Structure 1
Amino acid sequence: MKTYDLVELASRNLRESVLRNSLTTLGIAVGVASLVAMLSLGIGLQQLANRRLEHSGLFDSVLVFTPRGPEGFGPRRAASPAEPRRLDESARQEISRIAGVAEAYPEIRVPTEVRYNDRPFRTVVEGLPPSAAESAAMEGIQGHFFSKPDAAEAILQADFAKELDPDTARLRGRPLTLVYAESVSLGNFPPGRSPTGPAAAGRSPRSDRGEPAGFSVLRKEATLTIVGVTESQPNAGFERFGRARIFVPLDLAEKMIPPQISALLDSPVRQPAPPAQAGSAGRPTDGPLYATLIVRVADVKNIEPVENAIKRMGFSTFSLQDATRNLRQFFAVLDLFLGIFGSLALAVASLGIINTLVMAILERRREIGILKALGASDRDVKGLFFAEAGVMGLVGGAAGVALGWAIGHTINLGANIYLQRQNLPSQTIWLVPWWLVVGAIAFSLVVSLLAGLYPASRAARLESRC
């Protein structure tokens, strides 16, 4: 039998029992719609989580620290294959030149006393780079980001801002005084002087032995202008030295020269202290030692090669991409279970295909017998029933995808209306990618053909005399 004749016969048979075939096709469409709706929910939630992580500025970040850990305490870690080294300015510049690195900057958190309207508050100040203006934490900021990289300005975390004034809008433009400790290297003072005045101490004995010279601190004050209030906290996933509630430009935070935790400990690599050079009195001229660096990559795909390059330099690393592996596994399992539950409806619909085709055999026994008497083979009869099952599967699959997309779009619309009423940004919760459309239609076709196996085999066994 020619293919054209086969298709024409299948189409005619489907048109003869319109109601029954339409109901069977509708059952397939409902099954595919449930499958698409279930899987699109899992895909949408996974994409939403990934977008929020990427936009937060944490998903594309690598935390760099010495092998003793970000605090410098505890046993030496074995994560770095190279010999450990100092995490100083030269290391920072070297890391910045690694392919795929967008920027590398120190994590500076300064414990401070804040004075506002002559009232003292104790909190932590964090330095933010200019790139933080594009992070999700600054999306709903009341006010604006820093006007310059070293501006004497501050952005307050919303909870802390309410402590200063319940009406946070009145804080913008108001002055804020920070009282902080500035680190001063003891090794850079000439003999007979100390950070606080004349003394007979001379150089540090540790410096004479070629060890880190140690440091002292000076009490400093800085007056800043409040320019904004933010609900979220940048770098929230990396906080360790206390939650920051005041944010200042990173260049300004570096000028504060805060004591670093690493300065309290012997460096894992012994290096003789360089000779004192001309510079500001009491300030180290060999560059600071950083407790941690935050490295941002231009593309999240570069996280692993950047981490490996930093480890080869002798440092240890941590990234939230390592921690999100469990999250990806969770969504994989969720998608699997949603797909299984969605497929149950399609499995029920396949029973409708079997019932429809079996009934067609009983009604068309005489027609099948005549076809065989005219020379139709068993293969031709099977092909006829397979064609009918395939058409119902394709039409039902396409209709099911459209129905599933309509369900997801309606739920997205309703959810976004609710979010807008709560003053929250709109989100895409249901997502139907192109591969899900193609896969759902193909799956529907395969299930329909499998459901047609038994009726087709039964029809092929009929004798020509029937």
Structure 2
Amino acid sequence: MKSGDLTELAVRNLREAALRNSLTTLGIAVGVASLVAMLSLGVGLQQLANRRLARSGLFDTVFVTSRANFPGFGRRSSRSSLSSSSNTSSSASQPSNSSSDFENSTKDREPRRLDDAARRELEHLPHVVEVFPQIRFVTEVRYNGNPLTAMVAAIPDSARGSGSFDNIQGSFFSSPTADEAILQMEFAKDLSDQPSSLLGKDLVLRYAERRVIGMATGAQDAEGQGAGGAGKVSHSSSGGGPGKTLAAADPAPENQGISIVPRDKTLRIVGIVDTEPAAGFGGLGSGRVLIPLKLGEALRAAQGNDLRDILRGSGTRPGYANLTVRAESPSQVQALESAIKKMGFAAFSLLDASEGLRTVFKIFDLLLGIFGSLALAVAMLGIVNTLVMAILERRREIGILKALGAADRDVKQLFFLEAGVMGLLGGTLGVGLGWLIGRAVTAGTNLYLRRQELPPTDVFAVTWWLLLGAIIFSIAVSLGAGLYPASRAAKLNPVEALRYE
């Protein structure tokens, strides 16, 4: 039989049992709608997570810290080796060259320090956009004379393009060094019942400035000192020995200390934002007061890592707890991370975490697809039932077709075509129904978020490949369901079929 004749005959047969075929098609549509709704939820949540992470700049970022921040991280501590070397040397009358070589080799194995030289070296790596430190410190904030304790975070100018500032009230910083501040909404509510009224007002940061000062020790030799020399500072030792004169402008590192000096800084409030980009990474918590990065560096505020450096004996040497390195694109992060590790620093990125996140979403999508396919499996049974009933009702018609010369293949194609048409119609209708379900759930979700004073978001994402895949899957399931009825119809004996009443 010709394809046109088969199609015309299939459409006529579907019209003759319109109610039953319509209910079967509706069952397919419900199954496809549940499948589309489930998978679009999984896709939407995955896109939402990826979009938030991508706009925050975490996918193209490498976090760098000194290996000294992780005791035993990739290197063995040399303290015990130095102690052993000292005991060995003390047993000899004179120090040997091998002892000196051992000390030098131990020094080479010490972890590198994150200082300005290391920062410049990182900035010259290929495909590096910027390198900046994490500056966070707890301070007292005064507004209208009322003191509040808050975490202050310094953010780079590149954060302007972060999605966190899309709905900012006010504006971003006018310059990287401006005496300006952006408040998080929750902290702004603590300062005033009407947060928008804070824009253009001043607040005062009372912070602790970290200063390096010169000290003297009685163990140092006083030979060559000039009494009362210009530009010198004389300190007396605690042991009552002769005083040590140091150059005040450049004291030796081992003779330095730090001093904490309270300072006040007046800032103009220029913006209020709901969230902070990459909140909590590398810091003690989310910054409630945001300031420009260069201003934060100029303040030299004491941070939590300063106490750790003092206990390690390196507190007077300028350095960073960690640095953030941004690459030109996420595809270059892995090579950049490897290069930084070869330089002797500890480095990590979110690439490994993002791979794990993708795996979790794939499993999540698989489970949603399985649950969504259950309704489609029920619809598949409906197709089998409909076509089997059609065989019983059309036995005489099938016998006439065979008597007129229709082959078994033609009969199979006829029933396959009827099943495929129901699958196509049901899949198309189901896709539209699934899209409506997603829109309705999204509208209800956004209504709830607005009542909670949260920004609206899309949790459903119906992509073109999901729509096309759902329709193709619906047709494939329908053809699979029509396999048994088509084979049964093709095997009918035309003589027995013509006798059937």
Q: Aligning the two structures, in what range does the TM-score lie when normalised by the shorter sequence?
A: 0.7 to 0.9
Matched, 1:438 2:468: yes
Q: 1:412 aligns with which of 442, 451, 462?
A: 442
Bigger Cα displacement from structure 2, 37-46 vs 376-385 = 376-385
Deviation for aligned residue 1:94: 3.6
**C-alpha spacing 1:186/1:381, structure 2 compared with 1 (3 Å):** same
Confirm or deny: 8 A CA contact 1:141 1:230 kept in the other structure.
yes
**C-alpha spacing 1:31/1:99, structure 2 compared with 1 (3 Å):** farther
Q: Secondary structure at the match of 2:43?
A: helix
**C-alpha spacing 1:212/1:95, structure 2 compared with 1 (3 Å):** farther
Q: Secondary structure at the match of 2:271?
A: strand
* Structure 2 CA distance for aligned equivalents of residues 123 and 16 of structure 1: 75
Q: 2:206 aligns with which of 179, 204, 224?
A: 179
Confirm or deny: 8 A CA contact 2:134 2:283 kept in the other structure.
no
Q: Secondary structure at the match of 2:436?
A: helix
**C-alpha spacing 1:117/1:458, structure 2 compared with 1 (3 Å):** closer
Confirm or deny: 8 A CA contact 1:137 1:232 kept in the other structure.
yes
Equivalent in the alignment of 1:30: 30
Deviation for aligned residue 1:462: 1.1
Confirm or deny: 8 A CA contact 1:186 1:203 kept in the other structure.
no
Superposed, 1:340-419 pairs within 5 Å as 340-419=370-449
* Structure 1 CA distance for aligned equivalents of residues 178 and 347 of structure 2: 31
Bigger Cα displacement from structure 2, 413-422 vs 146-155 = 413-422
Q: Secondary structure at the match of 1:7?
A: helix
**Deviations for 1:197-235, whole angstroms, at most 9, x for unmatched residues?**
xx846379xx86x87955444443322223333342343
Deviation for aligned residue 1:434: 0.9
Q: TM-score, normalised by structure 2?
A: 0.76
Deviation for aligned residue 1:61: 3.2
* Structure 1 CA distance for aligned equivalents of residues 328 and 313 of structure 2: 31
Equivalent in the alignment of 2:273: 230
* Structure 1 CA distance for aligned equivalents of residues 209 and 455 of structure 2: 41
* Structure 2 CA distance for aligned equivalents of residues 163 and 425 of structure 1: 20
Q: Percent identity?
A: 55
* Structure 1 CA distance for aligned equivalents of residues 407 and 215 of structure 2: 100
Confirm or deny: 8 A CA contact 1:58 1:237 kept in the other structure.
no
Equivalent in the alignment of 1:220: 263
**C-alpha spacing 1:464/1:250, structure 2 compared with 1 (3 Å):** same
Equivalent in the alignment of 2:228: none
Confirm or deny: 8 A CA contact 1:30 1:346 kept in the other structure.
yes
* Structure 2 CA distance for aligned equivalents of residues 17 and 148 of structure 1: 74
Residue segments in structure 2 that go unaligned for 5+ positions in a row? 76-108, 217-230, 236-242
Q: 2:178 aligns with which of 151, 154, 171?
A: 151
Equivalent in the alignment of 1:62: 62
2:490 partner letter: A
Q: Secondary structure at the match of 2:280?
A: helix
**Deviations for 1:32-84, whole angstroms, at most 9, x for unmatched residues?**
1111111111211222222223334445433211123xxx3x413239xx994
Q: 1:296 aligns with which of 323, 326, 335?
A: 326
**C-alpha spacing 1:308/1:187, structure 2 compared with 1 (3 Å):** farther
**C-alpha spacing 1:191/1:259, structure 2 compared with 1 (3 Å):** farther
Bigger Cα displacement from structure 2, 119-128 vs 244-253 = 119-128
Equivalent in the alignment of 2:119: 92
Q: Secondary structure at the match of 2:63?
A: strand
1:456 partner letter: A
Deviation for aligned residue 1:121: 4.1
* Structure 1 CA distance for aligned equivalents of residues 490 and 399 of structure 2: 10
**Deviations for 1:307-362, whole angstroms, at most 9, x for unmatched residues?**
23322332222334444445433332322222112111111111111111111111
Confirm or deny: 8 A CA contact 1:212 1:266 kept in the other structure.
no
Q: 1:104 aligns with which of 131, 139, 143?
A: 131
Equivalent in the alignment of 1:272: none
Matched, 1:50 2:93: no
* Structure 1 CA distance for aligned equivalents of residues 396 and 367 of structure 2: 46
Residue segments in structure 1 that go unaligned for 5+ positions in a row? 269-283
Aligned length in residues: 436
Confirm or deny: 8 A CA contact 1:211 1:266 kept in the other structure.
no
Confirm or deny: 8 A CA contact 2:279 2:285 kept in the other structure.
no
* Structure 2 CA distance for aligned equivalents of residues 295 and 212 of structure 1: 33
Q: TM-score, normalised by structure 1?
A: 0.82
Q: Secondary structure at the match of 1:192?
A: strand
